A and B are shown apart, each in its own frame.
Chain A
Amino acid sequence: MFVPENAADLLQYLDSHQTGVHLIANGTDLINRIQRKQVNPKTLVDLTGLSEFRYVKREGGMIKIGALTTISDLVASPIIDSRYDVFREVAMKFGGPSIINMATIGGNICSASSSEDLLPVLLVLDADVQVRSIHGERTIRVEDFVKGKRMTDLKSNELLVETSFSELESCSACSFEKVGMRNSLIIAFVNCAVFLRLAENKLCDEVRIAFNRVNGKIPQRARQTEKIMKGTMLNEQTLANAVATLRNELKLTSDFRASEEYRLEVACAIFKRAVGRCADRLAGEKVLV
């Protein structure tokens, strides 16, 4: 294991050791996979010493979160106020306190799997990630960064350092819903994140919808459904239209946890609920996490 104490050392190391290296934040996913013999990494690189990447800040109309910020640090930050309760919704349904005390934002993104609840939320916030190497930095949208199951755009000499998204204005809200076998668990049957921005006249100015799976094995945006809703008035009828589109857009699968038909039905139900929660938040109602 290589244990860097600062970013510069790490980037140098990554540049000169480009194969067989696994970056670990708090190893939650990786240790699991080592236990299950799914992976046998040659060299581990422990990122936990890089405290410079543990922050939540507000800068230039953006919320910026360091990649090594834990989920519990995130929801404890005063910058993540009630407008950003969506992160609390994720934290509450994300295993237990010990898991959120360890799991990092960067670790979640790089795991690139449908069991990472944070990804749908970052997708609907249109978040970016910042990636750094010894040669410089680049910014890439989360949506483009996560390419497939456990596949990201991270090059072997790069480190994910930050994720950022535009601050929520007073006319926009975000929410997250998750359904699984019991009330506290890691892997859901289906989850859903929604971002809603209403114009002055209550028309849907912008709707962004993401699920843990849409058409494949990673969290994605349901763009067809977003398109149908854009510019419409939010009511029973438009929601019903949206659901009809969603039914066609979602291409889900069955496994031993749940069937495809069930997942589809529940996806539609929680989509409506997530939209409802956003609407309630915008109406100034107190929405319980």
Chain B
Amino acid sequence: MKKLTQSRQMLVVGKSLGRVDSLDKVLGKPIYTMDIVPENALYLKVVRSTVAHALLKRVDLSDARKYPGVVAVVTAQDIPGINESTALLPDKPLFATDRVRFAGEPIAAIASYDASIAEEAVDLVKIDYEPLPSVFSPLEALKPDAPQIHEKGNVAKHLKVRKGNVEEGFKQADLILEGTYKTPFQEPVPLEPEAGFVIPEPDGSVTCVGSIQSPYHVQRGIAKILSLRSEQVRVIQAATGGAFGPKSDEIPVDVLGMAALVAVRTRKPAALAYTREESMIGHTKRHPFVISTKVGVKKSGKLTAWETKMVADTGAYASLGPLVVIRACFHATGPYVIPNVKTDAYCVYTNNTMAGSFRGFGGPQAHFAAESHMDEIAKKLDMDPLDLRLMNMLRPGTLTATSQMVDEGCGLEECIKKATAESDWYRKRRQFQSMTGTKKRGLGIAIMYHGNSLGPEGNDFATVHMQIDSDCKIRVRTALTEYGTGAPSGLLQIAAETMHLPFDYFTLDPSDTEYCGDSGPTVASRTITIGGRATQMVAGKLDQKLREIAAEMLECSADEVESREGIFHSKLAHSVSLRDVVARAYSRGISLKESGTWTAPKCDYDPETSQGTVYLQYTYAAVTAEVEVDTETGRVQVLKMVAAYDIGKAINPISVEGQIEGGTIQGLGYALMEEMIHKNGVVVNPNLGDYYVPTSLDIPEIKTIIVEYPGRLGPFGAKAIGEPPVVLPAPAIVNAIDNAIGVRMDEIPATPDRLLTKLRRTQEAHEKR
């Protein structure tokens, strides 16, 4: 089957087709959660803790309950099931009861038909806190005398990689270099803040509609809270205005859980829309990491040993922190061949707000450290950083840090060569050396690998349903959600290609647990890779069925039928149309529905040393950044970036470019301006005026280069592209800044203040010599 589709030119896959949801979006159709709230709904507002770590001595809701217009007030007491709303570990309640662990933690919710009344009632709630000792730094939290945030201590996860013997490796080195790198809380800023509503059904079940990534995760969470069977909880994803990770963790369960409690109690629909401030405080962000790196290298540039200690701040509750740390741990060395590796990664609780899923999921932090450090090594060896990378990079036949053999689907070298050729690497870096004036330019590079799909993070399966209606519309349904990635549209392209039918015959149905089986979370770029394989399988089955019906009509055997553009041909040049075949099926009562679940092989590795196959395939990339640094103000302008990605097979090239461009700008923000700042656990900038995301005036020219070395996992060899683009901009930009002004920004964001301060210190140090 695969050979057949590869031997002919592909008609749909590989084409830059428009997305199926574009028309509704450009028309501004009411398809998002808060556009479709039922008429008679109650609106909730959440009562939140104002201190980071305290016992709740008294929570007095009496004035709020009495406030005119308040219809319901819910707390943990009102939970029929289990007071839990988590992503992974059972460490987080839906409502705090006796203790709060972060500033902003939900304590109660108030409902009214008028949201502003609910909001006024929130101000009437009186809470007595007994502050507990708090800890806001993960390094502090690791100390034995640190305040314990959870019963089992402050370490939610410790993961190790052990390959070879680093002590021996350091002995073999001519140079040993250490460095410490720090990254911030990066806030995802999906443009649509979290929202959801719940309708109580007459039979005791509930229907939940929300801005979510993973319907089944929400279903399980709500069922647990309400003490219902999962079949009694229907979850429908409304159009979702951006997600990037948080909407796959506990937050949708928080939102819909609170709404569900009100709905079930009052028997009225209940809706909750977070304000931007609540969204920024309440949902998960990128884990800040402190990464200490020690690398041994020979004079020639060959790496001999790489030792890393990574400490991640997961905030008050772990969310998917343990998994983020796993990914960071496995990628800690960057995409290089190193015979001796020792990595220890810790996921640590503090009393800051929560960190969890955010596009990149540990990859950005790991590569920021690894790629910054590689440049430092190059400087010490007086080697061009590009040459150092070419010497040590992963190639087919070499082993990764987890001793996984790199297969032929590795386009890292081509990515590097194409990116540096396009950015005119050697010439520009020479040219920039001799620049005078207050504005200095630099060119930097960073390279990466990114394990695809869940790997060690969980069961990797996807379920897809297809059916053909009597009007020949082919409907595709899956619980893998669309929230801007365009991946579900890509599934339709895969289905169309598999069935040799035009793309516009296909339509995507909503992600609704009533009609779609569990497909796991929509994260980790699984939609195209795992969802794509499921789609191929199900489309293949449906195609086979159509052929059998056509064969009967054409009086030949099924494998003699050839299909093209909706016409089925027999060898004798007789033909029937899809319309004829579908009509036949309907008149004979032959079902044109197919479903299937595709499960990826399990990853097999040693849990103590992490040696083995940790991911089934890898995306590779090289990104360069050309910057201009204003040495009087510390401001950095990124002028141009070249982004070369080996993505196996671009199902939809323009969509792939869109993912690369969008992720690159998120990465640029991470490098230069984005930082959620906590003071004693309280977020001081929970708004878009003080938390800076890049605007149209901040973006560089971006040249994307698509490289295709098919992987073994995805359909047509496709690899993940949703997450990788956010990983490399930060180290590439920071390396470019170093090239421009000789300053190592080992902490991001490299804000103008930080940069200028470091530049002055470097200049003063030089003057002293």
Binding site for B on A (CB under 8 A): 96, 179, 181-187, 189, 256-259, 261-262, 265-266, 269-270
Contact = CB atoms under 8 A, between A and B. Distances in A.
Given A182-B698, A184-B698, A256-B679, A265 B756 contact: yes
Contacts of A266: 632-634, 752, 756
A88 to B, nearest CB: 15
A267 to B, nearest CB: 10
A266 B759 CA distance: 13
Nearest to A272: B632
7 contacts: A179-B752, A187-B689, A256-B685, A256-B690, A258-B751, A258-B753, A270-B633
Given A189-B752, A256-B679, A269-B632, A183 B695 contact: yes
Interface residues of B, number: 24
Contacts of B756: 262, 265-266
Interface in B616-646: 632-635
Given A186-B689, A256-B685, A262 B698 contact: no
A181 B633 contact: no
B757 A182 contact: no
Interface in B644-680: 672-673, 677, 679
A183 B698 contact: yes
B696 interface: yes
Given A187-B690, A257-B690, A262-B634, 4 more contacts: A179-B752, A181-B692, A182-B672, A189-B753
Interface in B748-769: 751-753, 756-757, 760
A181 B671 CA distance: 12
A181 B694 CA distance: 10
B4 interface: no
B684 interface: yes
Contact of A261 (B633, B679, B757): B757
B697 interface: yes
Given A179-B635, A269-B633, A270-B633, A262 B752 contact: yes
A256 B684 contact: yes
A269 B632 CA distance: 6
A181 B673 contact: yes
Contacts of A179: 633, 635, 752
The 8 closest A-B pairs by CB, nearest first: A183-B697, A269-B632, A262-B753, A184-B695, A184-B697, A181-B692, A258-B753, A181-B673
A182 B689 CA distance: 11
A186 B753 CA distance: 18
Nearest to B276: A35
Contacts of B696: 184
Interface of B: 632-635, 672-673, 677, 679, 684-685, 689-690, 692, 694-698, 751-753, 756-757, 760
Contacts of A186: 689
A259 B635 CA distance: 15
Contacts of B677: 256
B633 A182 contact: no
A183 B694 CA distance: 8
A266 B760 CA distance: 13
Contacts of B753: 189, 258-259, 262
Contacts of A269: 632-633
Contact of B697 (A181, A182, A257, A262): A182
A186 B689 CA distance: 7
Given A256-B677, A261-B757, A181 B751 contact: yes
Contacts of B635: 179
A182 B692 contact: yes
Contact of B694 (A182, A187, A258): A182
Contacts of A265: 632, 756, 760
A259 B757 contact: yes
Contacts of A181: 673, 692, 751-752
Contacts of B672: 182
A254 B632 CA distance: 19
Contacts of A182: 672-673, 692, 694-695, 697-698
Contacts of B760: 265
Contacts of A187: 689-690
Nearest to A265: B756
A180 to B, nearest CB: 8
Nearest to B637: A183
B714 to A, nearest CB: 36
A256 B680 CA distance: 13
A186 B756 CA distance: 22
Contacts of B634: 262, 266
A32 B497 CA distance: 51
Contacts of B632: 265-266, 269
Contacts of A257: 690
Contacts of A96: 695
Contacts of B689: 185-187
Contacts of A256: 677, 679, 684-685, 690
B113 to A, nearest CB: 21
